[in-house]
A and B are shown apart, each in its own frame.
Chain A
């Protein structure tokens, strides 16, 4: 079973920041949080991952709470092309064999 809980759906206005929450209260100290997204009829796409510190890349920012029990993915300026299912995943296992267990994700609808 997935170790994360996400809202099933969210809306966001185009050009505004999209903040996608994720709860992972049972996360272990050495487990990473990953975010992937899946645009309709495509394979999932990696967005970002983190362990303890906040992370930022060209796609998004990841904010992890100090107790690591929850995190937020931030898309700073959402566009219509960001409409997708967003998956928050805790990687289970070691660095060489760890696997991703996908939940049902959050369907983000970006509206004009």
Chain B
């Protein structure tokens, strides 16, 4: 079974530029999550999708971050414009239908450096 795929794995941009991350969850997984992990900290949930609807985006900085999950499969997370404090690893995770959050499968993450 293929795992959660993310791209790119690394990205370096200058502040005020835009960036987008892509995630392909495990086939059949209804719930998709985006996390931000700053160096030395645990992952922080940014947004949770159930199919193509948003369940929780309370921690998403909506003035600069946006996310979508078209057709309830792939998802993209965008930052526009980026700030220095956005430097982090962005993790995508998915979980199967039923008990969301019971067992989340994480991708390898995208490491973003904002200079």
Contacts and interface: CB of A to CB of B under 8 A. Distances in A.
Interface residues of A, number: 24
B55 A46 contact: no
A46 B33 CA distance: 15
B48 interface: yes
Nearest to B30: A96
Nearest to B108: A43
A95 B91 contact: no
Query: Which bracket fits the contact residues of B?
Result: 20 to 34
Chain B interface mostly helix, strand, loop or mixed? loop
Given A95-B102, A104-B40, 11 more contacts: A43-B4, A45-B106, A49-B102, A96-B50, A97-B55, A97-B101, A98-B101, A99-B33, A99-B48, A100-B45, A104-B42
Chain A interface mostly helix, strand, loop or mixed? loop
Interface in A22-39: 32
